[in-house]
Structure 1
């Protein structure tokens, strides 16, 4: 490298700027105080897993049990929108009236929810029939009348047992 006398004044100024820039970069790399390891980026600790573990431990202490085979949970809100959970994990402690629903959710409007309910229940005719049997279609399955009562006993079973013995 040439000495300073052969280098113009501009070269010395650039050399000094580079040294200052390098010192600034070295200072930015250090994440802690003096004597700590130099790293490019600060390690981010995820506390999400610890929060999950703490929540599960609290739920276990409260005595919730998993309810299997629930395909969908719908929670209506005051603004007529609803949270729809598809294939959620549902846990409950029925005696304490505690229910826990976890899983991915989607916010839907009430019109979208009604459309999906009507299609899943098999149409408006089936819903009306479930609400009030008077809305049953004319050609539908009808129950025979008079079968609501318990039939009277015609024979005495004790006589049949005594005859065979």
Structure 2
């Protein structure tokens, strides 16, 4: 009934992914004899720019003889400083160097933002007690 004067019907078509790529990947991994590794809490991939791709509770499959690892999960791009306390034991020499650079740049940034500040200028410091002086009389 598609003739002159008939209303156009708008149908929402839902495209379903056939999953052909996933099936191909699964069959290829099976051929490589990939086995699941249990109890992996997190995976961190360190990038050259100093950032980290962080996977929390991923599914990991591995075949050590063929040096193949499959990682399933949502990866988040995070800065190295966000993850530092928990990943210090995972850092290699390159990552430690980039962490050192980040720390130095952070210190320089703090110095530049603070300007030239004397130690006595901090508002949070408690003044030293001076013998024989009454501070209550100075308060108006």
TM-score by length of 1: 0.46
* CA distance in 1: counterparts of 2:18 and 2:52, whole angstroms: 26
What is the alpha-carbon distance in structure 1 between the residues aligned to residue 45 and residue 29 of structure 2?
21
Distance 2:23 2:59 in 1: 16
Residue 55 of structure 1 pairs with residue 25 of structure 2: yes
Alpha-carbon distance in structure 2 between the residues aligned to 1:68 and 1:100: 13
Select the structure of larger CA radius of gyration: 1
Give the counterpart of 1:65 among 15, 22, 35: 35
C-alpha separation between the residues in 2 aligned to 1:86 and 1:52?
22
Question: Offset at 1:62?
Answer: 1.8
Q: Give the secondary-structure state (helix, strand or coil) at the position aligned to 1:59.
A: helix
d(CA) in 2 for partners of 1:46, 1:77:
34
**Unaligned residue ranges in structure 1 (runs of 5+):** 1-19, 30-39, 121-165
Deviation digits for residues 87-121 of structure 1 (CA, Å, limit 9, x no counterpart): 11111111111111111221110111213336x9x
Comparing both chains, which one has the higher relative contact order based on Cα–Cα distances under 8 Å and sequence gaps of 6 or more?
2
Counterpart Cα distance in 1 of 2:16 and 2:29: 21
Distance 1:48 1:87 in 2: 27
Aligned alpha-carbon RMSD (Å): 2.5
Alignment of 1:67-146 (within 5 A): 67-117=37-87
